[in-house]
């Protein structure tokens, strides 16, 4: 086991609670622009959700395994990449999809469904793919998610803010109109400030291993975004759905990854560092691609 595996990050449960609150605020701001009709359309077309789940839980973990074989990272970094790939979509993906002029209702539905499916698929994918790699299998530990805790997370981070936001928009339209933009800006600024603060608290560790981790996460995240968009395009989904699937597969729930690392892997250095940097980098890449898409009208389905 290398030196990086001896590193323990400066992160605590209170920080994760704060992160959950921030994400809930982001979800409320996004929900102000949603209507019940948006979800009826998703329920009438389950295929996009299925394509997203295939990209999330089948294609991305498999492609991550191939990437690990190609770049040969340290065992704990490789295991961290596999864990990130096994996690469901992050809640900030809903905001980014909305900003990118994608199908926001589809993004929210995919986040909710993938989070529930992750109860089984996250430990299964991690055990399967890490078990195939001789070096990661040597440090692999059994991962078991509490289904009650996971369902509670879906309810708190997605359900409650979404319902409150939609009810606010319906019954207090003038208020919703006034606060829509400020909440969106405030929640994003606070979220970015949180991840920057978390990074600063562990700056010496990041500087020590920045080189390879940055390259690995860059390649991994690019692979995830491309996998989502490519799968949606091959399935013939319209552009707004392609954007939603791409962002959903490319924006992982790194907070969940950190929780699992500290609960089941004792904060293993390489895993924790690569997952923490994912939490920063996917904001940068997500905002970049969402901004690029926001300036381009979604093409029709035939394009």
The domain spanning residue 52 has which CATH number?
1.20.1530.20
Report the range of poorest mean pLDDT among 92-101, 172-181, 212-221, 252-261.
252-261
Q: Which pLDDT score is estimated for 21?
A: 74
Q: Mean pLDDT in the chain?
A: 81
CA atoms within 13 A on the CB side of 121: 21
Q: Residue 300: inside a domain, yes or no?
A: no
Q: Residue 298: inside a domain, yes or no?
A: no
Q: Please give the backbone phi and psi of residue 89, each rounded to the nearest 5 degrees, phi first.
A: -65, 150
Q: Residue 280: inside a domain, yes or no?
A: yes
- What range does the domain containing 58 cover? 3-290
Q: Which pLDDT score is estimated for 142?
A: 46
Would you say residue 84 has pLDDT above 90? Answer: yes
Q: Residue 281: inside a domain, yes or no?
A: yes
| CA–CA distance, 146 with 83 (Å, rounded to integer) | 16
Would you give the DSSP letter of residue 101? T
CA distances 216 to 175, 207, 232, 250, 290, Å, are 44, 15, 24, 14, 22
Would you say residue 133 has pLDDT above 70? Answer: yes
Instruction: Give 240-266 as a DSSP string.
Output: HHHHHHHHHHHSB-HHHHHHHHHHHST
- Predicted confidence band of residue 139 (pLDDT cuts 50, 70, 90): confident
Q: Which pLDDT score is estimated for 268?
A: 73
- Predicted confidence band of residue 303 (pLDDT cuts 50, 70, 90): very low
Using alpha carbons only, what angle is made at residue 167 by residues 161 and 171, rounded to the nearest 5 degrees? 150
Cβ neighbours for 170, distance < 8 A, ≥ 6 positions apart: none
| CA–CA distance, 145 with 79 (Å, rounded to integer) | 17
Q: Residue 244: inside a domain, yes or no?
A: yes
Would you say residue 206 has pLDDT above 90? Answer: no
- Predicted confidence band of residue 81 (pLDDT cuts 50, 70, 90): very high
Q: Which pLDDT score is estimated for 198?
A: 63
Q: Residue 295: inside a domain, yes or no?
A: no
Report the range of poorest mean pLDDT among 45-59, 144-158, 230-244, 263-277.
144-158
| CA–CA distance, 25 with 51 (Å, rounded to integer) | 28
Mean pLDDT confidence for 222-249: 95
| CA–CA distance, 221 with 285 (Å, rounded to integer) | 8
Q: Residue 209: inside a domain, yes or no?
A: yes
* Element spanning 45, H or E: none
Would you give the DSSP letter of residue 251? S
Q: Residue 299: inside a domain, yes or no?
A: no
| CA–CA distance, 280 with 104 (Å, rounded to integer) | 22
Q: Please give the backbone phi and psi of residue 252, each rounded to the nearest 5 degrees, phi first.
A: -95, 155
Nearest Cα residue to 60 out of 77, 80, 89, 85:
85
Q: Please give the backbone phi and psi of residue 270, each rounded to the nearest 5 degrees, phi first.
A: -60, -40
Task: Read off the pLDDT of residues 21-37 as tens digits, 9 standing for 90 and up.
Answer: 776 777 787 778 777 77
Q: CA torsion, points 145, 85, 69, 4, in degrees to nearest 10?
A: -70
Q: Which pLDDT score is estimated for 117?
A: 81
Domain count, the chain: 1
CA distances 231 to 212, 249, 253, Å, are 28, 10, 20
CA distances 251 to 134, 224, 255, 259, Å, are 28, 8, 11, 17
Would you give the DSSP letter of residue 252? B
| CA–CA distance, 146 with 178 (Å, rounded to integer) | 39
pTM of structure:
0.78
Give the gyration radius of the chain's Cα atoms.
18
Would you give the DSSP letter of residue 295? T
């Amino acid at each position: 086991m290398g030196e990086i595996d001896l590193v323990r990050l400066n992160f605590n449960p209170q920080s994760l609670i704060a992160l959950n609150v921030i994400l809930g605020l982001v979800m409320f701001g996004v929900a102000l622009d949603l209507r019940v009709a948006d979800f009826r359309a998703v329920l009438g077309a389950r295929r996009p959700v299925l394509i997203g789940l295939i990209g999330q839980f089948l294609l991305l973990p498999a492609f991550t395994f191939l990437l690990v074989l190609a770049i040969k990272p340290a065992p704990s970094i490789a295991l961290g990449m596999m864990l990130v790939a096994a996690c469901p979509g992050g809640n900030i993906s809903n905001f980014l999809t909305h900003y990118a002029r994608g199908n926001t209702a589809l993004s929210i539905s995919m986040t909710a469904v993938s989070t529930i499916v992750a109860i089984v698929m996250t430990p299964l994918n991690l055990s399967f793919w890490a078990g195939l790699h001789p070096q990661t299998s040597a440090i692999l530990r059994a991962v078991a998610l509490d289904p009650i805790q996971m369902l509670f997370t879906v309810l708190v981070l997605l359900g409650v803010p979404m319902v409150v936001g939609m009810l606010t928009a319906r019954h207090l339209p003038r208020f919703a109109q006034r606060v829509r933009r400020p909440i969106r800006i405030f929640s994003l600024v606070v979220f970015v400030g949180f991840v920057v603060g978390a990074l600063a608290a562990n700056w010496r560790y990041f500087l020590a291993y920045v080189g390879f981790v940055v390259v690995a996460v860059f390649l991994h995240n690019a692979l995830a975004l491309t996998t989502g968009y490519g799968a949606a395009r091959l399935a013939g989904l319209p552009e707004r759905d392609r954007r939603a699937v791409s962002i959903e597969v490319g924006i992982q729930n790194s907070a969940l990854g950190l929780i699992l690392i500290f609960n089941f892997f004792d904060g293993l250095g390489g895993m924790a560092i690569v997952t923490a940097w994912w939490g920063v980098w996917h904001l940068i890449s997500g905002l970049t691609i969402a901004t690029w898409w926001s300036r381009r009208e979604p093409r029709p389905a035939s394009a």
